[in-house]
Amino acid sequence: MPKPPVRVLRLAVLLLLAAPLSAVLADPAPPELDDLWAGDSPWDDGGVIAVRWHNRQTDPFDRFWRAEITQIALPDGQGRMQPLENGPMSWLRPQRMATDFEAQTTPFLHEYRGYPFWCWPPVPDPHRDTHYLRMDLLTLFPPRQEQEEVALQRKEIDRLKSSGSPHEQVRSAEQELVRKEEALILARARVRAGRYRVQMKYQDAGMGKLEPTGAAMEVSATPDLFNPCRANNLLFSLLLMALILVSVASARRRKPFLKTLPALEAIPEAVRRAAALGRPLLCLVRTDSFLTLPTFASLSTLGEVSARASEAGARMTVPHIDPLVMAAAEELTARPGDNVFVTGEQFAFTAAVTGTMAREKPASCLYLGSYGAESLILAETGAASGAFQVAATDSVDQMPFLVTACDHVLIGEELFAASAALSGDPAGAGTLRAQDLGKALLAGFLLCGAVVATGAALSPEPWSRWMARLMDLAGAF
């Protein structure tokens, strides 16, 4: 049998190799996206556009998606939409990733991790089969010109101040900064209210140009009046309000039992000691800010102590580090003249108060509120002067020093209970009872969540699926 010529064999081999190579080089048909949707991201204050599509689980692993968004219209000063020619274009990239979104990797769980289950989009399997991307318009299309003008104007103000320019010139520059900041706010509002075109594109094997797939969609973002994702917070707030109202009404009919604490009984003892010895009662209300819960609790306790001191004939001295706290204390104390503003600097205030302790030798010292590094200096000086000392603080890092140097200490939440326990007011006692009931309720929810999580990990199908639904419910609350 004659052998085929070598030239024929070479030609056959080339044809066999060329067939798969031509298939690779040929333009593949664009993939179809199932259930592609783009529109306003729900349950927010606007300025965010969402894109969603289903992953068919048949795309190659080396395929990448890109969501391109183009600005096509912006509102003018009267709110009328003005179209743009060749508007800016941007695209959404994953966080901390150099590539685009992989076809087989769905970022749905990352985007909705902090949302309760009733705010998830209606998809078959949110943890596997759905891409859901959220695009912040101010991040993709920041008003750079207005931002740069504001930054340059701030630098100009700093230059004028450092060079000792006249006050009128600095004031004019600050007024110009206000105008530019207002222009920046308006520019950001225009970006959030504009119209945009979203186009999905894909790329295979990280090679070649991006190819469009699916139809381009024109979208805009609008704010929502109600965010159902926080309905759980609303429900808890209403529940706690109901507990407080019911507990206060019950306390007005029948005084609830309040646990007796040695530190609470020591506060009237401190007042009686000051009256008996004829030396002052030094009371400090230390705070980092006026609008904090420890400040309100301390001022309320200060009012009760002042009323008892006035009845017993004891002289009080109340030095302050915050003028706002002093103004509030003057309204609560029986003798407003007992309040003295010292200074707003931490250790200058500490030096002045310790000097007062060394000179006047107070009979008792009462430390209320949040304390910092000055706590041990004050408490040690009071102990050295022979004062009877009581502290009430929520500062966890300062509690060991106050416990060491003071005779009695109200720790943490006991500070918030001091006023109600001293006054015997039914409203305060009922509020304390409602707080305890709320803590018991939260502890019960935590215990139920632990039981459900353990059951989800140990139960077989189909019980584990039901346990997973209960876990979604527990995670939402």
- The H-or-E segment that residue 153 falls in is helix 144-162
3-state secondary structure of 466: helix
In CATH terms, the superfamily for domain 34-142+194-226 is Immunoglobulins (2.60.40.10)
Asked whether the domain spanning 262-423 has the same topology as the one spanning 34-142+194-226, the reply is no
Q: Count of alpha carbons within 13 Å of 20, Cβ hemisphere only?
A: 3
What is 381-434 written as a DSSP string?
Answer: HHHHTT-EEEEEE--GGGHHHHHHHSSEEEETTHHHHHHHHHH--HHHHHHHHH
Q: Are 383 and 356 in contact (CB under 8 A)?
A: no
pTM, to two decimals:
0.61
In CATH terms, the superfamily for domain 262-423 is HAD superfamily/HAD-like (3.40.50.1000)
Annotated domain spans of the chain: 34-142+194-226, 232-254+428-476, 262-423
pLDDT tens digits, the chain, 477 residues: what are they? 455 565 655 666 555 555 444 444 444 556 677 678 899 988 888 899 988 887 666 667 777 778 889 999 999 878 888 998 888 888 776 544 445 666 666 555 445 656 777 777 655 555 556 777 888 999 999 999 999 999 999 999 999 989 888 989 999 999 999 999 999 999 999 999 999 999 988 887 656 677 888 889 999 999 888 888 888 888 888 988 898 898 888 888 887 777 778 888 899 999 999 999 999 999 999 877 777 888 888 898 999 899 999 999 999 999 999 888 999 999 989 888 889 999 989 999 999 999 999 999 999 999 998 898 899 999 999 999 999 999 998 888 899 999 999 999 998 888 888 877 887 777 878 888 888 888 888 888 888 878 877 877 787 777 777 777 777 777 666
Please give the order of strands across the beta sheet that includes 34-40: 34-40, 48-54, 130-136
Secondary structure in 3-state letters for 180-244: HHHHHHHHHHHHHHCEEEEEEEEEECCCCCCEECCCCEEEECCCCCCCHHHHHHHHHHHHHHHHH
Of 306, 363, 367, 313, the closest CA to residue 337 belongs to: 306
